[in-house]
Amino acid sequence: MAPSAPVATATGLSLSELALRTGAVLDGDGTLRVMRVGALESAGPGAIAFLTSPRYRAQLATTRATAVIVAPEMAGETGLPKLVSSNPYATYAKVAAILHPPPTAMPGVHPSAVVADDARVAPSATIGAQAVIGPGAAIGDRVRIGAGCAIGAAAVIGDDALLHARVTVYDRCVLGPRTVVQSGAVIGADGFGMAEEGGRWLKIPQLGRVVIGADVEIGANTTIDRGAIDDTVIEDDVKLDNQIQIGHNCRIGRHTAIAGCVGIAGSTRIGRNCKIAGAAMISGHLDIPDGTVVGAATVILSSIEKPGIYTGAFPVTEHATWKRLAVELRRLGDFARRLRALERSDARRSDAADRGKEEQ
């Protein structure tokens, strides 16, 4: 059951084969073979590097890589064999996946794992050491469950999913095909539902599930709460970074990407194709439309009506300047009141002057 972990393909692939498999255009000797990816600055023979930003073009002239991946407008700046792509970063991702395939694992259940008698585990699945599979759980084909994972009762893990060590999936939650979950993630814990009565908190039972679509990635120590009544839903192809908190009854639309340390309070609906930068804080019971971009550390307290780029973070500045600006910001309310008073006074004077002219 120990996985093999090759650093890269042993003999590599020819540039012509990589061009065929990635859809890039070959420019140069297609018989050259590359075995690994590398950065422009540090790549050596046998590596393929990539350039996405013109500010690194100087490294393109000095790289020792065997080949490079570039955009069409940069292709003339190097004589190296190259793969030409309108999206070099995406082509690099494909090449890296081809040359550095994930470790393979032998199917089977580790002797120290605990699997409930009525759990359904596909023969092609791999269950790691000290993992626990609860009653009625269903583990699909080619699923890999890492060491120390806990899969709750009646939970469903779709085909080809990968759960790294110590992932917890609570009862009845559903993970779609090809989902990848990094270590320490918790899916389906109770949402923060409390009712106050007589100076004490009453816990509201959290009766929903977490339902995760296909091709979702969930970062290390990210937590997704189960719904209070209805389900918390993460749609297909959502990408979640590390240490994100998603509250109960949220819905995240497909192809949305959320960076680390974002907090999303309960019953928030985030649309499709959104991008949310790190440490953004999103209040509950609000809507964010499809295609919205939210800047780092931005605080959102109400629904966004139309797609766009929204940023609420104050740019970094020297501390003394920041203190002065903070004082001035606090005085803006007073300035606004004084301005309105001046406007009203000016309007009264103007009206009086107009009346005087009419009387004359």
- Per-residue pLDDT reduced to its tens digit, 92-142: 999 999 999 988 889 999 999 999 999 999 999 999 999 999 999 999 999
Q: What is the pLDDT of residue 33?
A: 97
Q: What is the structure's pLDDT at 354?
A: 73
Eight-class DSSP state of 54: G
Let me know if 100 is a catalytic residue.
no
Predicted pLDDT at 23: 97
In this structure, are 126 and 213 located in the same domain?
yes
Same domain? For 233 and 281 the reply is yes
Q: What percent of the chain has pLDDT over 70?
A: 97
Domain contains 207: yes
Q: Residue 10 — pLDDT band, cuts 50, 70, 90? A: low
Same structural domain for residues 174 and 231?
yes
In a domain, 61, yes or no: yes
Local confidence band at 2 (pLDDT 50, 70, 90 cut-offs):
very low
pLDDT range class, residue 315, cuts 50, 70, 90: confident
Using an 8 Å Cβ cutoff, are 221 and 261 in contact?
Answer: no
Radius of gyration in angstroms for the set of CA atoms belonging to the chain, rounded to a whole number:
28
pTM: 0.87
- Decide if pLDDT at 57 tops 60: yes
Judged against a pLDDT cut of 60, whether residue 160 lies above it is answered with yes
> What's the domain count of the chain?
3
State which residues form the domain around 88: 13-99
* Residues 74 and 171 grouped into a single domain: no
Whether residue 130 is found in the same domain as residue 268: yes
Q: What is the model's pLDDT at position 360?
A: 64
- The whole-number pLDDT of residue 68 equals 98
Question: What CATH number is associated with residue 80?
Answer: 3.40.1390.10
Domain stop point among 80, 99, 118? 99
Q: Compute the mean pLDDT over every residue in the chain, rounded to the nearest whole number.
A: 94
- Per-residue pLDDT of 185-194, as tens digits, reads 999 999 999 9
Instruction: Name which of 35-39, 54-58, 206-210 the model is least confident about.
Output: 54-58
| CATH, residue 112 | 2.160.10.10
Question: What is the spatial distance between Cα 189 and Cα 172, in angstroms, rounded to a whole number?
Answer: 11
Q: Residue 6 falls within a domain, yes or no?
A: no
Question: Do 199 and 268 sit in the same domain of this protein?
Answer: yes
Which is the catalytic residue, given 248, 255, 285, 319?
248
Measured CA to CA, the distance from residue 81 to residue 69 in angstroms comes to 9
Q: How far is CA 291 from CA 186, 253, 301, 309, in A?
A: 27, 10, 18, 9
**Lowest pLDDT segment from 242-251, 279-288, 350-359:** 350-359
Q: Which residues lie below 8 Å from residue 300, measured CB to CB, with a gap of 6+?
A: 280, 281, 282, 283, 286, 288, 294, 310, 312
